[in-house]
């Protein structure tokens, strides 16, 4: 049981390049989400999904796209990378989408640097 | 949206002492309050949580207390050990919401 797997762990991009951060979970979780972590800013929600084919925006969605074609996978796409997107990105999933419970399981993070 | 304030941002304690981290939130309808621990180079991991119908919850050396009237909750770690050194995040889930809103984190250092 691998849990939440993120790839790549490290990536350097040039401004304007595009890329996809991959996230996969093997726990049959309905809920999946992407957060970014910046120094002094905590964890901020980018996008989330409550099931295959359903996605929604979080607090800081601009510059990012997501899709959820399967229960297991939730990729995050950077369309045209900017230095402001330099951050550590975490994918997290939860067993239940009931609103008053549900432990979030996090991946180990993907550190992205945009030059 | 929900606003979560976490204090202090850094905390140093001697091994064996207690540590307390506090969070306040803005939405009185919020009903789920977890705490996460993040070790260096890893993703956050749930250590304890509390729901709005409970005032206190304990798990060995850690406890969480919730004051719904004042809209704040706290993490208490007793008999701290060096392995407790990490960044701790509080979070809040509003009623009818799927998302967790996180505080900015507290870096706890336990000095041997």
pLDDT value of position B64: 97
Mean pLDDT of A59-76: 96
Q: Answer positive or negative: Cα dihedral of A58, A60, A62, A64.
A: negative
Q: What H or E segment, with its residue span, contains residue A45?
A: strand A42-51
Mean pLDDT of B87-95: 92
CB A55, CB A49: distance < 8 Å: yes
CB B19, CB B77: distance < 8 Å: yes
**Among B103, B94, B87, residue whose Cα is nearest residue B44:** B87
Q: d(Cα A91, Cα A109) in Å, to the nearest integer?
A: 7
Q: d(Cα B46, Cα B52) in Å, to the nearest integer?
A: 17
**Element counts in chain A: helices (H) and strands (E):** 0, 11
Q: How sure is the predictor about A96, in pLDDT bands with cuts at 50, 70 and 90? A: low
Q: How sure is the predictor about A4, in pLDDT bands with cuts at 50, 70 and 90? A: very high
**A-side interface with B, Cβ within 8 Å?**
4, 31, 33, 35, 40-45, 48, 50, 58-59, 90, 92, 97, 99-101, 103-104, 106-109
pLDDT value of position B36: 97
Better-predicted residue by pLDDT, A100 or B78: B78
Q: d(Cα B91, Cα A2) in Å, to the nearest integer?
A: 25
Better-predicted residue by pLDDT, A97 or B107: B107
* Three-state secondary structure readout of chain B: CCCEEEECCEEEEECCCCEEEEEEECCCCCCEEEEEEECCCCCCEEEEEEECCCCEEEECCEEEEEECCCCEEEEEECCCCHHHCEEEEEEEECCCCCCEEECCCEEEEEEC
pLDDT value of position A100: 45
Residue pLDDT, tens place only, B23-61: 999 998 898 999 999 999 999 999 999 988 889 999 999
Better-predicted residue by pLDDT, A50 or A2: A50
Would you say residue A7 has pLDDT above 80?
yes
Would you say residue A41 has pLDDT above 90?
no
Would you say residue A99 has pLDDT above 60?
no
Average pLDDT, chain A: 92
pLDDT value of position A83: 97
CB A48, CB A58: distance < 8 Å: yes
Average pLDDT, chain B: 94
pLDDT value of position B105: 96
Greatest distance between any 2 Cα atoms in chain A: 41
**B-side interface with A, Cβ within 8 Å?**
1, 6, 9, 31-32, 34, 36, 41-46, 49, 51-52, 89, 93, 95-105
pLDDT value of position A95: 79
pLDDT value of position A98: 55
Q: How sure is the predictor about A97, in pLDDT bands with cuts at 50, 70 and 90? A: low
Chain B, nearest residue to A33 by Cα: B99
Residue A83 phi, psi (nearest 5): -55, -30
- Tokens (6 digits) for B79: 């008999």
Contact partners, residue A99, CB within 8 Å, separation at least 6: B31, B32, B93, B95, B96, B97, B98
């Amino acid at each position: 049981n691998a849990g939440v797997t993120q790839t790549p762990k490290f990536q350097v991009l040039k401004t304007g390049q595009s890329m996809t951060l991959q996230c996969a979970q093997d726990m049959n979780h309905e809920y999946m989400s992407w957060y970014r972590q910046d120094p002094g800013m905590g964890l901020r929600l980018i996008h989330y999904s409550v099931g295959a084919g359903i996605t929604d925006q979080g607090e800081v969605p601009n510059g990012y796209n997501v899709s959820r074609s399967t229960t297991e996978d939730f990729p995050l796409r950077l369309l045209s990378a900017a230095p402001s997107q330099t951050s550590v990105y975490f994918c997290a999933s939860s067993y239940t989408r009931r609103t008053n419970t549900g432990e979030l399981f996090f991946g180990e993070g993907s550190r992205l640097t945009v030059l | 949206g929900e606003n979560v304030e976490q204090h202090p941002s850094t905390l140093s304690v001697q091994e064996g002492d207690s540590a307390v981290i506090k969070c306040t939130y803005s939405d009185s309808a919020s009903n789920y309050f977890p705490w996460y621990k993040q070790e260096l180079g890893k993703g956050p991991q749930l250590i304890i949580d509390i729901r709005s119908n409970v005032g206190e919850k304990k798990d060995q050396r850690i406890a969480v207390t919730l004051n719904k009237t004042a809209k704040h909750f706290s993490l208490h770690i007793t008999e701290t050990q060096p392995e407790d050194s990490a960044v701790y995040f509080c979070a809040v889930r509003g009623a009818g919401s799927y998302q967790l809103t996180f505080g900015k984190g507290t870096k706890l250092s336990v000095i041997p």
